[in-house]
Amino acid sequence: MTSDQAPHPVLLCADDYGLSPGVNEAIRDLIAAGRLTATSVMTLCPYWAEGAAPLKALSDRADMGADVGLHFTLTDQPPLGPMPKLAPEGTLPPLGRLMRLAYTGGLDAAEIRDELARQITAFTAAWGGPPAYIDGHQHIHQLPTVRNAVADALATLPGTYVRLCGEPPADILRRGVAVPKTLLIGGLGGGLARIARARGIPANDSFRGVYDFSGRIPFGALMERFLDRPGRRTLVMVHPGIPDAALRRADPLVDQRKVEYDYLKGPEFAALLNDHRIRLARFAELATV
């Protein structure tokens, strides 16, 4: 990219707002610093209701702000309402079991639709308006039955976009980060992508940020690959957080969240954006390039 070209807009989205106070604090801090432009909310988690007001105060500021969307969740957490088939004991299943049910026709469409409606209602009640977009915790919004419920919900929310998790395999291979995992996640999203195109649902056209969370490769080196050659509507997913007891109880991904938070807040990330001529932007700005 030559020096006279305008910076290229990229949407940088932090997942899991609401999961713990430390995750909430880290995400708000990065939005305030201009280092994030979207965050996905887990409305069935206990820290969403108390975290909504301070997040909205940031989002409403003219000099910053972020898209705030629903991180539809169907794994490991208690659902917001009764789901006797999927969560008979009051806790949603792990991802592997959910996927088996989805691909063998074992999900009850009405249960999924009703829980999605409850999670949207919990978002709206605390936020005062609908989500800017819908995606899925552990990418579950792409699964059969689930994706149809998501698409139907989006039809009632004009202007709300959806996160697509696919990208051309050649780009994934060139990037060389968690290639099998990235290809699998992208491959699972083909059905949702077709539905979005057929129904005219707004969506990103490039998805990055998948890795193994091992810390084996420095996070800065990963971000450099994720931001290389951005497309027209590139969305990069991150998981920053400040470890706390609530996070340790709720999720196995803990310490690497702090690694991401420290990097995204620091000068090396600012330098990377400048060197690659990247401008962090909200979704509405991506179509301008």
DSSP string computed for 222-283: HHHHHTSS--TTEEEEE------HHHHHH-S--HHHHHHHHHHHSHHHHHHHHHTTEEE--H
Residues above pLDDT 70, as percent of the chain: 96
Determine the pLDDT at residue 1.
Answer: 42
pLDDT, tens only, 33-61: 999 999 999 999 999 999 999 999 887 76
Quickly state the pLDDT bin for 6 (edges 50, 70, 90).
Answer: confident
Determine the pLDDT at residue 154.
Answer: 96
Q: 2 pLDDT exceeds 50?
A: no
pTM: 0.95
Tokens 């689930």 correspond to what residue? 146
Quickly state the pLDDT bin for 139 (edges 50, 70, 90).
Answer: very high
Nearest-angstrom CA–CA distance, 79 and 288: 39
Tokens 């991506």 correspond to what residue? 286
